[in-house]
Amino acid sequence: MKINIFILLGVLIGAPLFAMKLPVSTLELEVGGRFDQVHFDFQDAALGAKYNFDDISSWGYGLRARWDLSTYWYLRGNITYGDIMSGTSKINSVDNYPLQTGDLKGHMLDIQAALGRFFCFTDWLAIAPIFGWGYDGQYIWTKSMASKNSFKEMQNGPFLGVDLHTQWTDCFSLDLGYEIHFTSSRTHLIPQGNFSELSPIRGHSKVTYGQVGWIEGLYRFSRHWQVGLRGEVISYSTTKSGRIIPGNQDNIYVQARNNEISWQSAQLSALLGYIF
């Protein structure tokens, strides 16, 4: 029993039991497509309205980087910008306004950084617990025959997760990751047109929970270059995000509540990386 404890301590604080080829410092260019669904439900005084942004298709591009701090410690980060190419907005009020549909445009911005430490369990498998900070923003403009609306949602905060690295050959590796995000969510909605008498909504929630899962396959075709594919799914949700105090054009302040915000996303990207 004592031997097993000493082995475990050695894995956690010292040299791993197995030696394997770990990822090296890289800088990757990322280009890909993304598909999103956003739901925003708020209560404004006696009125209630639901905003659904469905089938949001966007093209994104950005940079991903990994920097080795030592043999097992590393930093990784990314910045990704996406242009919304198409989508559908649905606006419905429980009172005097019928369902309205329209087109939408906008953009998205994601920034993330994390610190991790690899532990090698076989000569082909390594697992790294990670801690990081992330920012996700969606900026959407909707347009229908009767109204125009702008919607912004920004989430930022820490996250915990795990990176899993597998090295199948000297040239091919497969990485997977899972993250749990604890973020503060901020929303900003400005109704116009037929909805202009509704108050602008500015609100925030203390904690929003999110989950991120990803898989990435890389093929190293020369000493300094590699290519790959990356898939990622994201899910955020917050309910009863707290009291919101908006104001209309007459500076009359009323009480409102943000009932629910949910956001789901799926992304597939191609990668081209330079190895230092």
- Find the CATH number of the domain harbouring 259: 2.40.128.90
- CB of 233 closer than 8 Å to CB of 215: no
Q: How many CB atoms lie within 10 A of CB 143?
A: 15
Q: Would you state the pLDDT for residue 116?
A: 96
Domain presence at residue 16: no
User: Looking at residue 200, what DSSP letter applies?
Assistant: P
Say how far apart CA 46 and CA 21 lie, in whole Å: 62
Q: CB within 8 A of 81, min separation 6: which ones?
A: 60, 61, 62, 107, 108, 109
The 10s digit of each residue's pLDDT in 66-90 is 999 998 999 999 999 988 888 877 7
Q: Would you state the pLDDT for residue 264?
A: 86
Q: Would you state the pLDDT for residue 93?
A: 59
Confidence band for 251, pLDDT divided at 50, 70 and 90: very low
Please give the average per-residue pLDDT across 178-187, as a whole number. Answer: 85
The 10s digit of each residue's pLDDT in 198-216 is 555 666 666 678 899 999 9
Q: Would you state the pLDDT for residue 201?
A: 60
Number of domains in the chain: 1
Say how far apart CA 44 and CA 167 lie, in whole Å: 54
Q: How many CB atoms lie within 10 A of CB 259?
A: 15
Please give the average per-residue pLDDT across 176-195, as a whole number. Answer: 76
Domain presence at residue 10: no
The 10s digit of each residue's pLDDT in 227-248 is 999 999 998 877 655 444 444 4
Domain presence at residue 205: yes
The 10s digit of each residue's pLDDT in 21-59 is 677 789 999 999 888 877 766 555 445 566 677 778 888
Q: Please provide residue 240's backbone torsions phi and psi, each rounded to the nearest 5 degrees.
A: 50, 60
pTM beyond 0.85: no
List the domain range (segments joined by +) for residue 59: 22-275
Domain presence at residue 181: yes
Domain presence at residue 2: no
Confidence band for 9, pLDDT divided at 50, 70 and 90: very low
**The pLDDT of residue 180 is above 90:** yes
**The pLDDT of residue 166 is above 60:** yes
**The pLDDT of residue 192 is above 70:** no
The beta strand positions in the chain, using DSSP E, are 26-44, 47-68, 73-93, 100-117, 119-120, 125-143, 148-167, 172-191, 201-220, 225-239, 243-244, 256-275
Q: Would you state the pLDDT for residue 1?
A: 46
Say how far apart CA 222 and CA 252 lie, in whole Å: 65
Say how far apart CA 162 and CA 121 lie, in whole Å: 14
Q: Which two tokens stand for residue 72?
A: 């097992």
CB burial of 38-47 (b: ≥16 within 10 Å; e: otherwise) equals bbbbbbbeeb
